Amino acid sequence: MSSFIRLLGPLILAFEPSMDSERINPSPSLALSIGRSPDQASNGDLEAKLNELSEENKRLNEMVKAVYSNHTALHHQLMELTNSVPPAEKRKRKRMCANMTGIYTTSVRIDASSSSLVVRDGYHWRKYGQKVTKDNPSPRAYFRCSFAPSCPAKKKVQRSAEDSSVLIATYEGEHNHDPPTARDKSLPCFVSLGSSDSAVALDLRPHGFGSEVECVEFQRILAEKMASSLTQDPSFAEALASAISGRMFQRLHAQS
DNA sequence: CGCCTTTGACCAGCGC
DNA sequence: GCGCTGGTCAAAGGCG
């Protein structure tokens, strides 16, 4: 959950609604000229386009504000639920937190029919145990980092009790070595979208990004990955083409 | 042959 | 003290 919020954080910040209308800066690539060259476009047309884009930007800002307020409300609910935990459970959690810093959990959606408990995250893990726990019918698998013998990093993987297609991975301890490959080192997080057999791989190192530069770089890579996945998705391309052609048809219709 | 998973046994902590 | 539960160990066997 925390890693999920951490992932969402930069995105939410990147889309933080702004009340400053001067910051609205429609991309030149969006300024479509239908049926005539940019030289022929009159100031009136450009003004109309600008107004239209401003309106659209305003609508998107409203949507983002709504999403942001929903996120805030959910966060409050989560805090309330956390506070309503029975005292015994509270003590247990407090003890666990005191003894083990750097514990992070993440959920990964997989194929529900798959029995695999593997969460790919770029590291090499060796399974050393499996146990059926009281609160969940599906077994919990215990993994230890096998890349370096002295590495204290561990993880537990278990299917969600509510949704068997979701794997809950709990990471404990820090890796005392670099990720196995140079690619992993330069790419702290990679996200696969679309296919059912894909796994979301997250770098859950407790200290997060080493610097603001790394964070910005991560956001850039994440955006590229998402854009790449979307452009490779035929259904998305089809929807996009449909939206653009619909828009063009509207404009032509309005001009005629 | 080395590395991995599986699985039953064992251990420690906690509540009653 | 006893039973329950979660976490770990280690032997056995599979696989490339």
Q: What does the DSSP assignment read for A165-234?
A: TEEEEEEES--SS--SSHHHHH-S-B---S-TT---B----TT--SSHHHHHHHHHHHHHHHHHHHHH-H
Q: What nucleotide is nearest A96 when CA is compared to C1'?
A: B13
CB A102 within 8 A of CB A118: no
pTM of the model: 0.47
Q: What is the pLDDT of residue A54?
A: 79
Share of chain A above pLDDT 70, in %: 32
Q: In terms of pLDDT, which residue wins out, A20 or A235?
A: A235
Mean pLDDT (chain A) is 57
Range scoring the smallest mean pLDDT among A133-142, A171-180, A211-220: A211-220
User: Residue A88: CA atoms inside 13 Å, Cβ hemisphere, count?
Assistant: 0
Using a 7 Å CB cutoff, list residues 14-73 of A near strand C.
Answer: none
Closest nt by CA–C1' to A142: C7
Question: What mean pLDDT do residues A1-7 have?
Answer: 37
Distance in Å from B12's C1' to A95's CA comes to 15
Name the most confidently modeled range: A110-119, A123-132, A234-243: A123-132
Separation between the CA of A6 and the C1’ of C5 (whole angstroms): 32
Task: Please check whether residue A170 is in contact with residue A176, taking contact to mean a CB–CB distance below 8 angstroms.
Answer: no
Residue A142 confidence (pLDDT): 92
> Where is mean pLDDT largest: A72-76, A80-84, A181-185?
A72-76
Tokens of A119: 């969460």
Q: Which chain B nucleotides are covered by protein, judged by CB under 7 A?
A: 3-9, 14-16
A85 CA, B14 C1': separation in Å?
Answer: 18
Give the whole-angstrom CA distance, residue A240 versus residue A231. Answer: 9
